[in-house]
Amino acid sequence: MNTWVKLLFFTGTTLFAGSSLQKVQAQTKQVEEKVVNLEKLVIEANLERLLGNYDKSIQLCEQVLKEDPSNDVAYFELARLHDVKGSDDEAVRFAKKAVELSPENHWYHRFLADIYQQVGRNKEAAGVYEYLVSKSPNDEEYYYKWAYFLIKANEIPKAIKVYDDLEKRTGLTEEIARRKHSLYVGIGDSKKAAIELERLVQAFPRNIEHYYLLAAYYEQIGEAKSAENVYRTILKININDPKASIALAGSGETGGDAQVLAAMKPVFGQADVSIDYKIAKLLPYINKVADTGDKNLAAAAIELTQILETTHPGEAKAFAAHADLLYYSGQTEAALASYKKTLELDETVYLVWEQMLRIQHELVDYAGMHASAEQAMEIFPNKAFIFYMHGVAEYELGRLPQSISSLEQALLMSGKDGRLQLDIRIQLGKTYAEAGKTAPSNEAFEAALALHAKSAEALSAYAYCLAQRGENLDRAKQMAAMANDLAPEQARIQDAYGWVLYRSKDLQGAKTWIGKALANGGDRHPLILEHYGDVLYLLKDPENAFQYWTKAKEKGSRSKTLDKKITDRRLYEQ
């Protein structure tokens, strides 16, 4: 080949090669530009989602998929967008597509499971985590999630199998044993439930908490002997263990509750044993005293609370427990003193304030009740009951405008508490009546009866106010009689019936019913004492009438005519 031919060959080849390279470079550049543009669209779509422009973000993702139908990121973004918009079916569809295109991306699977959970498709969510476990068998979280969704799908045996598989990899752990125990309890298999806790004790024999769990479960299912054996094992490990000592207190003895409580004394005297644990052990006996009024049991329990007060002198709970026992065993005034001590240590315990106000009302200590309510209102400005009791105290102390103000505030705050609304409306009826506001009084009583047509308190109070005005005495008598049928042996209700009879000129009937009221604790109420004196005077017994008027005065009566009755020794109608 001559030189020119060679030159022409090489020149042509070079030109051809150069032309092909330029085409390849141009195509690569186009692909790169396309990828960059798609990435920009995805980024822009994500930004619009973050800004809350969901429809715009959806449009951008759909534009990406037109250009690249296999773009898993765009499908994932669409799934998230439809999830936010509440389009569950679309969210599932797009999430499944993202998973299909990129099965190695665990975040896509987890998001799909989350959506399944939202729509109640727990079995399918469990299937997602079953797949993830197969791909990452050492990831413990996936096992727990798989079991969780199986439980939600009511596939309990399968969930237990998942925990078994996890245990084969990790060994027995407290978490696995407790979860399996709970599942067996849930399906009613108490034997296997106990076995799981027994395995836990065997695996960790120095961990006392596991023994407590096992013993408590045996107690729960009624296997007292098995529980005792566990507690005895605990004492072998630690002879001074307080929980085991209390649990075994009095076992084998025949002295009953009092013997058990006596056996608890050494542990109750240990300052290093939690007061919460002691109170928890004492609580069943407090409740039993509340239900039965058993004074012997109360005395035995009170001894323990006295030990608590000495051992934990700064703990309000000790004094509160003591106060409860005193109250439920009929030692009302002593209970009040103990509740006051409780509040000195911790004034934020609302229920103690409530109980103290009730006791002060029961003891007819209206000045003390008013002072307590004033204090409580500062600490609990949103508690309707406290405003109600404040209103009651103001009424009993003769401060009617202040009473109405507190009661109306209590009514506004009472919300959906129907029982409290009833009490407030009854008291409003009484207070308006005392203030001479007949129409509002009747409206309050009618509203109370609309809430509870068979409320003895409403019927009785309404009847009393009608009788006091000498109005509609037949209806008053009917309501008062019905109230006594509904709530017998209640001093205030008996007195109201007696007063209706008095106003109806049935003096013997009035004497009988007001006498019953006095016998049922009415002798603490100045108004009831005064009523009885009025009846006696009209029954031609002025000397005894004078005696009862004097007693009413001593009890703090605020009657406008009582002083004149005592001075002149004659009746003046109120």
CB-side exposure of 441: number of CA atoms within 13 Å?
18
Q: How far is CA 235 from CA 208, 225, 242, 434, 496, in A?
A: 10, 15, 9, 67, 62
Q: Considering only 58-72, 319-333, 395-409, which range has the smallest mean pLDDT?
A: 58-72
pLDDT value, residue 139: 94
Identify the CATH class of 257-346: mainly alpha
Hey, CA dihedral for 55, 61, 62, 64, is it positive or negative? positive
- Confirm if 356 and 372 have CB atoms less than 8 A apart: yes
| Residues 467, 473: Cα–Cα separation, whole Å | 6
Structure-token pair, residue 138 = 């050492």
Residue 439 to residues 119, 340, 433: CA-CA distances in angstroms?
57, 40, 9
Q: In angstroms, rounded to a whole number, what is the distance separating the alpha carbons of residues 479 and 501?
A: 12
Half-sphere exposure of 11 (CA within 13 A, CB side): 6
Q: Count CB atoms within 10 A of the CB of residue 91.
A: 25
| 525 dihedral zone (left: phi>0; alpha: psi -120 to 50; beta) | beta
Contact 449, 482 (CB under 8 A): no
d(CA 147, CA 533): 77
pLDDT in tens, 443-474: 999 999 999 999 999 999 999 999 999 999 99
Convert the pLDDT of each residue in 299-311 to its tens digit.
Answer: 999 999 999 999 9
- The average confidence (pLDDT) of the chain is 90
Number of Cβ atoms within 10 Å of the Cβ of 37: 12
Q: What's residue 49's pLDDT?
A: 75
Q: Where are the domains of the chain?
A: 257-346, 372-452
Flag whether pLDDT at 4 surpasses 60.
Answer: no
pLDDT interval class at 285 (50, 70, 90): very high
Q: Can you give the pLDDT at residue 252?
A: 52
Average pLDDT over residues 530-541: 96
Helix, strand, or coil (residue 434): helix
| CA–CA gap between residue 461 and residue 483 (Å, rounded) | 9
pLDDT for residue 29: 44
Tell me how far CA of residue 361 lies from CA of 235, 357, 364, 459, 513, in angstroms: 49, 6, 5, 20, 22
What is the pLDDT at residue 34? 62
Q: Comparing 290 with 257, which gets the higher pLDDT? A: 290
Distance CA 279, CA 264 (A): 12
The pLDDT score that the predictor gives to residue 173 is 93
The token pair at 515 is 């006498």
Closest to 497 (Cα-Cα) out of 512, 481, 521, 518: 481
Structure-model confidence comparison of residues 343 and 41, the more confident one: 343
User: In this structure, which CATH number among 1.25.40.10, 1.20.1250.20, 2.102.10.10, 3.40.50.300 belongs to the domain 372-452?
Assistant: 1.25.40.10
Residue range 158-176: mean pLDDT, rounded: 95
Confidence of residue 32 (pLDDT cuts 50, 70, 90): low
**Tell me: the pLDDT tens digits for 407-444?**
999 999 999 999 999 999 999 999 999 999 999 999 99
Buried b (16+ CB within 10 A) or exposed e, 218-234: bbeeebeebbbebbebb
* Band of residue 381 on the pLDDT scale cut at 50, 70, 90: very high
**What mean pLDDT is predicted for residues 74-83?**
89
Residue 382: is its pLDDT beyond 90?
A: yes
Give the phi and the psi of residue 240 in degrees, each rounded to 5.
-100, 15
Q: How many CB atoms lie within 10 A of CB 336?
A: 22
Residue 54: the pLDDT is 76
Same CATH topology for 257-346 and 372-452: the answer is yes
Q: Work out the pLDDT band at 319, boundaries 50, 70, 90.
A: very high
Residue with tokens 């390849």: 24
Confidence band of 239 (pLDDT split at 50, 70, 90): confident
Q: Give the confidence band of 243 by pLDDT, cuts at 50, 70, 90.
A: confident
pLDDT at 63: 85
In the structure, what pLDDT confidence band is assigned to residue 6 with cuts at 50, 70 and 90?
A: very low
State yes or no: pLDDT of 13 exceeds 90: no
Tell me the average pLDDT across 532-558. Answer: 94
